[in-house]
Amino acid sequence: MSGLGGLNKSPNGVVVGLVQIQNPWVVTPADVAKQTARIVELVGKARRNNPAMDLVVFPEYSLHGLSMDINPEIMCTLDGPEVAAFKAACVEHQIWGCFSIMELNPGGNPYNSGIIIDDTGEIRLYYRKLHPWIPVEPWEPGNIGIPVCDGPKGAKLGLIICHDGMFPEMAREAAYKGAEIIIRTAGYTAPIRHTWKITNQTNAFHNLAQTASVCLCGSDGSFDSMGEGMFCNFDGTVMVEGSHRPDEIITCELRPDLVREARIHWGVENNIYQLGHRGYVAVKGGAQDCPYTFMHDMVAGKYRLPWEDEVVHKDGSACGFAPPERRYKGPEA
């Protein structure tokens, strides 16, 4: 199915490269500039690695590392020099790219953001991580939803970031909006290895989507990231799986046309359709109500677990962050 990692590209294939970039240690603006240059170099390596590659994906924290430093001097903006360099690299090498930035937020903590840039240097998708990995991460919760864009060969692309992928609702929302290839970028370390694998597989199968997921790789002197890029097919099987070697680029040919075919023709296990059409054999069109209490409660702003009062970690104190005073302001217009 993978076309030998995209070496044998079919007319309908989209070849994706996942970069297991070496986990960097970034403290100063000079460090950010140096790491920006390294990412640009690896865009060139990706193009040389496989001339048929359509999209190269860098993991979460590939620019800023895992320090969780919110120093505004090293934060990025969409019109800053780092994003400009990524745009230029995509144009130079005629390739789409997915990149990670920690984004300056004048009104609060920085956002953990991801962007997809096309081969003309235009930002085609911009996403702010909805679910920071609390209590470890200090990032502002995302407020612009889960966007989807048209990618190479017309493939519908979605992007979720790291911990997002542990919530089935995230991949479901991306697929519900049409995503055929769901990208997941991460900075995970080895203790998350098992759940990383099974959630990448289930996110694919639950939504009849193909998933392309990649972590940082190697040690920064404190933290060891695991690499382990992986591609999963819409039946949940793993097509290509990476190693623990830093800067290795894992490649695979994905077939969004076969995703579309499955979503239209599957009967058994067409779960993303059947979620909203329960029991259509018995009742015309299936039941289209919402039987899930947690969904109703969340919409009403009263989501509450039966064991809510017993939950220990409700802020970042355990990881050295002061309890916040601000409340979430809600989605941006």
Is 280 inside a domain boundary? no
Contact between 252 and 5 under an 8 Å Cβ cutoff? The reply is: yes
Is 76 annotated in the active site?
no
Is 283 inside a domain boundary? no
Helices 168-176 and 193-207 cross at an angle (nearest 10°) of 30
Spatial distance between the Cα atoms of 175 and 207, rounded to a whole number of angstroms: 6
76, 82, 87, 129: which one is catalytic? 129
Note the pLDDT of residue 2.
Answer: 66
90, 98, 149, 162: which one is catalytic? 162
Note the pLDDT of residue 190.
Answer: 85
Is 284 inside a domain boundary? no
Give the pLDDT of the chain (333 residues) as one tens digit per residue.
567 877 888 999 999 999 999 999 999 999 999 999 999 999 999 999 899 999 999 999 999 999 999 999 999 999 999 999 999 999 999 999 999 999 999 989 999 999 999 999 999 999 999 999 999 999 999 999 999 999 999 999 999 999 999 999 999 999 999 999 999 999 998 889 999 999 999 999 999 999 999 999 999 888 888 889 999 999 999 999 998 899 999 999 999 999 999 999 999 999 999 999 999 999 999 999 999 999 999 999 999 999 999 999 999 999 999 999 999 988 875
Is 298 inside a domain boundary? no
Is 106 inside a domain boundary? yes
Is 285 inside a domain boundary? no
Buried/exposed 79-102: b ≥16 CB within 10 Å, e otherwise: eeebbebbbebbeebebbbbbbbb
60, 140, 173, 180: which one is catalytic? 60
Is 129 annotated in the active site?
yes
pTM for the predicted model, two decimal places? 0.96
Count how many domains the chain has.
1
Is 321 inside a domain boundary? no
Spatial distance between the Cα atoms of 130 and 113, rounded to a whole number of angstroms: 9
CATH number at residue 50: 3.60.110.10
3-class DSSP state of 36: helix
Range of the domain at 116: 3-274
Helices 29-49 and 81-93 cross at an angle (nearest 10°) of 10
For 326, what's the count of Cα atoms within 13 Å in the CB-facing half-sphere? 8
Is 208 inside a domain boundary? yes
Is 329 annotated in the active site?
no
Other Cβ atoms less than 10 A from the Cβ of 150: the count is 13
